Structure 1
Amino acid sequence: MGHYAQVWDHKAATEIIKDWNGIDQVVLRNPHGASAKISLHGGQVVSWRNDQGEELLFTSNKAIFKPPKSMRGGIQICYPQFGDCGSLDQHGFARNKMWVIDENPPPLNSNETLGKSFVDLLLKPSEEDLKHWPHSFEFRLRVSLAVDGDLTLISRIRNINGKPFSFSFAYHTYLSVSDISEVRIEGLETLDYLDNLSKKSF
Structure 2
Amino acid sequence: MEVNIINDGDRSPRILLREPTGSTAEVLLYGGQVVSWKNARREEILFMSSKAVSKPPKPIRGGIPICFPQVANFGTLEQHGFARNRLWSLDEDPSPLPPANNQSMVDLVLKSTEEDLHTWPYRFELRLRVSVGAGKLTMIPRVRNVDSKAFSFTIALRNYFSVSDISEVRVEGLETLDYLDNLLKRERYTEQADAITFDGEIDRVYLSTPTKIAVIDHERKRTIVLRKEGMLDAVVWNPWEKKAKAIGDLGDEDYKTMLCLDAASIENPITLKPCEEWKGRQELSIVSSSYFSGQLDPRKVLNGLH
Residue in 1 that maps onto 2:26: 37
Task: Check whether the contact 2:33–2:63 (CA below 8 A) recurs between aligned residues.
Answer: yes
Distance 2:8 2:177 in 1: 41
Q: Which has the larger displacement, 21-30 or 74-83?
A: 21-30
Task: Check whether the contact 1:34–1:50 (CA below 8 A) recurs between aligned residues.
Answer: yes
Distance 1:77 1:144 in 2: 16
Cα displacement string for residues 75-117 of structure 1 (whole angstroms, at most 9, x for unaligned residues): 01000011112110111000111001011112342xx511111
Residue in 1 that maps onto 2:102: 115
One-letter code aligned to 1:186? E
Q: CA RMSD in A?
A: 1.5
If you compute each CA radius of gyration, which structure gives the higher value, 1 or 2?
2
SS at match of 1:128: helix
Q: How far 1:197 sits from its partner (Å)?
A: 5.7
Relative to 1, partners in 2 of residues 1:46 and 1:19: Cα closer, same or farther, differing over 3 Å?
farther
Residue in 2 that maps onto 1:135: 122
User: Of 174, 177, 190, which residue of structure 1 is paired with 2:163?
Assistant: 177
Matched, 1:66 2:55: yes
Q: How far 1:195 sits from its partner (Å)?
A: 3.5
Q: TM (normalized to structure 2)?
A: 0.59
Q: Kindly, what percent of the aligned residue pairs are identical?
A: 56
SS at match of 1:130: helix
Task: Check whether the contact 2:11–2:54 (CA below 8 A) recurs between aligned residues.
Answer: no
Relative to 1, partners in 2 of residues 1:199 and 1:184: Cα closer, same or farther, differing over 3 Å?
farther
Q: How far 1:198 sits from its partner (Å)?
A: 5.9
Task: Check whether the contact 1:46–1:73 (CA below 8 A) recurs between aligned residues.
Answer: yes
User: Of 159, 163, 171, which residue of structure 1 is paired with 2:149?
Assistant: 163
Task: Check whether the contact 1:30–1:149 (CA below 8 A) recurs between aligned residues.
Answer: no
SS at match of 2:115: helix
Residue in 2 that maps onto 1:80: 69
Task: Check whether the contact 1:15–1:28 (CA below 8 A) recurs between aligned residues.
Answer: yes
5+ residue gaps, structure 2, are 190-306
Matched, 1:26 2:12: no
One-letter code aligned to 1:42? G
- Mapping of residues 101-112 of structure 1, within 5 Å: 101-109=90-98
Distance 1:149 1:18 in 2: 26
Number of aligned residues: 188
Distance 1:199 1:57 in 2: 29
5+ residue gaps, structure 1, are 1-11
Distance 1:136 1:98 in 2: 16
Matched, 1:94 2:78: no
Q: How far 1:149 sits from its partner (Å)?
A: 2.5
Distance 2:127 2:116 in 1: 17
SS at match of 1:14: strand
One-letter code aligned to 1:159? N
Relative to 1, partners in 2 of residues 1:122 and 1:113: Cα closer, same or farther, differing over 3 Å?
same
SS at match of 1:193: strand
One-letter code aligned to 2:59? S
User: Of 119, 124, 145, which residue of structure 1 is paired with 2:132?
Assistant: 145
User: Of 124, 141, 144, which residue of structure 1 is paired with 2:111?
Assistant: 124
Cα displacement string for residues 97-143 of structure 1 (whole angstroms, at most 9, x for unaligned residues): 1001011112342xx51111100000011211110100100001000
Which structure has more relative contact order (CA 8 Å, sep 6+)? It is: 1
Relative to 1, partners in 2 of residues 1:181 and 1:22: Cα closer, same or farther, differing over 3 Å?
closer
Q: How far 1:199 sits from its partner (Å)?
A: 6.3
Larger fraction in strand: 2
One-letter code aligned to 1:150? K
